[in-house]
Amino acid sequence: MSDLEVIALSPEQEQLRYTFGGGEPLLRVQQGTVVELTTEDCFGGRVRSAEDLPSQVCEFPYLNPVTGPIHVEGAEPGDTLAVHLVEITPARDWAVSATFPHFGALTATHNTAMLHEPLEEVVWVYEVDRKRGTCLFRPRRGGPEVELPLDPMHGTIGVAPAGGEVFASITPGAHGGNMDTPEMRAGTTAYFRVNVPGGQLSLGDGHCRQGEGEVCGTAVEASMRTVVVVDLIKGGGPAWPRIESDEYLMSTGSTRPLEDAYRVSQHDLVTWAAQLTGWDSLDAYQLVSQAGLAPAGNVVDTNYTMVAKLAKKYLGSGAVVADGAHDRLRETAATYLSQR
């Protein structure tokens, strides 16, 4: 496929961004372009050993850096930006996780404000074995070690928000952002509504793997080498980010309380299923009630994220998303991988 355009994007430390919205694009691409990029970990690479406490070595607001924004030529408000994640590979042979003062689901936070002292700040360093596809959990105070399978994903991916807003990269919302769902893995296509010209795609916060909910507040945090293909569908921009894999359609909702995140994601999945099949919305409500899945994304960030999942096989052959963008992007990815 001689016309496959491949561009490398590896920002310097001072080129990293910490918001969605605002600032000039770091790169401009045509739709269909493959971008080989690198992302730094959520600590900006500053936490490298158990002695590097995040609260000491990191500096607010220089947390959770993202690579981008990438301006997609021709993207206009209301369009759909389709981002296919071709490959996500840990860039180093180690990764880290930590408790962070007043951050996490089982601790008092700045919003769930309490009179408790913070939980102890502890760092875990994971050995990453890319060949065997594992990362090694070493408890800090004894007990069994656990070898966990790698399942790399991006916690943070999204576009510039609407209405001139600028959000910290740690905030998830209708623009995407720090949704922290393990579903954002290689092989999937994420759909975002374009809010500003060019869409302004950014991503970061790579995780070697993450549990649903990210309960302690951080995953197995790693710098990543990631390959994406960006595509553009005119119009049809979804109100909230959606994800398509070979097997599933997924809607996201990022807000508080968690039941509202659930409502947003299920409402989007129900109306999406109705639109794809021709079902009345109450019929789609019924089918999703029996066949839908509802895993937590995160329950720790400034908004919480729920994912609503439905197996594509239940929607019939007539249900085609975004003009078949996912299949098309899968082919582009296959071509790219075979040529590399």
Give the shortest CB-202-to-a second copy separation in angstroms.
14
Output b/e per residue, 18-45; b: 16+ Cβ within 10 A.
bbbbeeebbbebebbbbbbbbbbbbbbb
Site for a second copy in 130-149 (CB under 8 A): 137, 139-144, 146, 148
100 binds a second copy (CB under 8 A): no
19 binds a second copy (CB under 8 A): yes
Site size for a second copy (CB under 8 A): 94
167 binds a second copy (CB under 8 A): yes
Site for a second copy in 106-135 (CB under 8 A): 106-108, 110-117, 119-120, 122, 124
Segment near a second copy (CB under 8 A); pick from 1-9, 104-112, 225-233, 242-250: 104-112
Segment near a second copy (CB under 8 A); pick from 43-51, 183-191, 283-291, 329-337: 283-291
Site for a second copy in 169-208 (CB under 8 A): none
Question: According to the 3-state scheme, what is the secondary structure of 257-278?
Answer: CHHHHHHHHHHHHHHHHHHHHC
105 binds a second copy (CB under 8 A): yes
290 binds a second copy (CB under 8 A): yes
Cα 110 to Cα 108: distance, rounded to the nearest angstrom: 7
Give the shortest CB-21-to-a second copy separation in angstroms.
7
Cα 95 to Cα 124: distance, rounded to the nearest angstrom: 8
322 binds a second copy (CB under 8 A): no
Give the shortest CB-316-to-a second copy separation in angstroms.
4
Segment near a second copy (CB under 8 A); pick from 16-24, 27-35, 39-47, 186-194: 16-24
Segment near a second copy (CB under 8 A); pick from 14-22, 67-75, 227-235, 327-335: 14-22
DSSP characters over 2-63? TT--EEEE---GGG-B-EES-S--SEEE-TT-EEEEEE--TTTT---STT--HHHH--TT--
In which region does residue 287 sit, left (phi positive, over 0), alpha (psi from -120 to 50) or beta (all else)? alpha
Give the shortest CB-75-to-a second copy separation in angstroms.
19
Of the candidate residues 81, 184, 270, 333, the single one contacting a second copy (CB under 8 A): 270
Cα 184 to Cα 189: distance, rounded to the nearest angstrom: 8
309 contacts: CB under 8 Å, gap ≥ 6: 183, 248, 249, 250, 269, 292, 293, 294, 295
291 binds a second copy (CB under 8 A): yes
In which region does residue 101 sit, left (phi positive, over 0), alpha (psi from -120 to 50) or beta (all else)? beta
163 binds a second copy (CB under 8 A): yes
